[in-house]
Amino acid sequence: MLRIKRVPTILSNYQKDEAEEGALARGCGRNCFRNCCLPGSKLPLYAFPKSDNLELCDKNKIPFAFLDSLLLGEWEDRMERGLFRYDVTACETKVIPGEYGFIAQLNEGRHLKKRPTEFQVDKVLQAFDENKFNFTKVGKEEILFQFGPSEDGEVQFYPNAPIDPNKSPSVVAINVSPIEYGHVLLIPRILEHLPQMIDHESLLLALHMAHEAGSPYFRLGYNSLGAFATINHLHFQAYYLAVPFPLEKAATKKITDIKGGVEIYEILNYPVRGLIFEGGNSLKDLSSSVADTCICLQDHNIPYNVLISESGKRVFVLPQCYAEKQALGEVSAELLDTQVNPAVWEISGHMVLKRKEDYEGATEQKAWRLLAEVSLSEERFQEVTAIIFETISCVVSEKVLPEDKEDVDEVDGIDNGAPATVVSWKQECLVQH
C-alpha cells in the first residue's frame, strides 16, 4: 500500500475546525447539512431545463447569464462576510514568458495552517467514510444555492426553496481556499454520501452548469483520488479565469468520431498527454462518452483529471501518475520542495505556487518540467487509450496515416515518434481518412 504524507487544501472552514478543535465532540451548532440541522431548511434554487438538446436549452435560457450573475453575487456576499481564508484578489498573478503562456499565481495562503495527513494514492475508488470530513458537515452559510433540473423544461429561480432530503439536492458552495475569483464547488446529490468517483448523472450535471453559466471564462475541473482530490466526497471545482488555459490552446490530432456526433482528439505538443472530447448532438451525448471514459479509468485504478471548458462543449480527460511517482520516490527533491500538487488547474497551465521564490523564478521550462512528471509515458498512454477505446466499443489500429506523419514528430521534449493512434471501425467508431 502506497502512502505519502500530504498537506491537503482546506475547502471548508469546518474542515479546519473539525481537525484542529474537535468541534464534533462538542455537538454541531453549525447549521449544517445533516439530520440535526436540515429539517425546515431553505436555500435558493437555480433550476435548469431538463432537455439536453443544446438548441432547445439556448432557446429557453433567460436572456442574460443569470447563473453567472447569481454565482458571482452570492460568492461576493460570502467574501464581504469574511468566510474566505484569504483575499484571493490580492494574490500576484503573471503570464510566464514563452510559447505556451503558462499562468503563475503566488498564493501563499493555500499552504498556511494546514494539517498533515496520511493520503492513500494507490486506490482511485475508496468507500465513503462518514467519520472523515465531508460536505454535509459544512455550515449552510458556505452553500450558495441548490442546482438541479426544472420541472417544466425552462430556467427557473426560487430565492427561498425548501431543501428536500428525499431528493438529495445538488448544491454549489464556496471553496474557502480559492484559487481565483468565483471559485466554487459543485457537490452532486450531497446527501447521498457519494465517494469521489464520476458517474453519468454527476458529469451531465457538471456540463449543465458549464452550459448554464455561458461564460468562456468559467471552467469546471475534477480530480480523482490519486490525482490530488483531497476529500472523498463527490465534487467538482470551478472558477473564472479571463485568459485561455495553455491546455486549451494545445495542438490536437483527431482520432475518431463516435456515436452521437462526439469527436475524440489527442493532445499534442503539451507536457501532459490526454484526450479531448468535443461536439455531440446533445449535452447527454458528450457527457455519456466522457463518463464512460472516466468510469473505465476508475475501474482500472488509473488516476485522472478532467477539465470542462467552452461552456461544456469541450472536455479534457487527463490520466496522470505524479502521486504514484511521488510515493515511489521518483520525483526530484527540487520539485517536491515547491509543494505544488499538480491537479487539474496546474495541469491546465495555471500554476498555483506557494513560495515567493518559485513565483519570482518561474519559467516555462520549470513549468514544463513539473507537468512532464505528471504525464503518463507515451507507451503507457497508448496502453490506457487502448483500454478506453475497447470500453467504448472501439479497436485501436497501429497503422499511421501517411498525411498525418508530420504531425506526430517529437516536439519540445515530448516523444511523439510512436505510431499515431488510429481507430478502426467497430460498431460505433469511424476511421479518420
Strands 350-353 and 103-106: parallel
- The secondary structure of residue 404, as a DSSP letter, is G
Domain ranges within the chain, ordered by starting residue: 3-424
Is pLDDT at 141 greater than 90 in this prediction? Answer: yes
Q: Which of the four pLDDT bands, split at 50, 70 and 90, describes residue 366?
A: very high
Long-range contacts of the stretch 115-119 (C-beta < 8 A, 24+): 115/7, 115/8, 115/16, 115/19, 115/20, 116/5, 116/6, 116/7, 117/5, 117/6, 117/7, 117/8, 118/3, 118/5, 118/6, 119/3, 119/4, 119/5, 119/6, 119/8, 119/230
Q: Can you tell me the distance from the alpha carbon of 122 to that of 4, in angstroms, rounded to the nearest whole number?
A: 10
Residue 249 pLDDT > 90: yes
Tell me which CATH code domain 3-424 carries: 3.30.428.70
Q: Is residue 211 among the annotated active site residues?
A: no
Quick one: pLDDT at residue 429?
43
- Pick the catalytic residue: 183, 208, 233, 235? 235
pLDDT, position 433: 33
pLDDT in tens, 49-105: 876 555 544 544 444 578 999 999 999 999 999 999 999 999 999 999 999 999 999
* Residue 9 and residue 114 in contact, taking contact as beta carbons nearer than 8 Å: yes
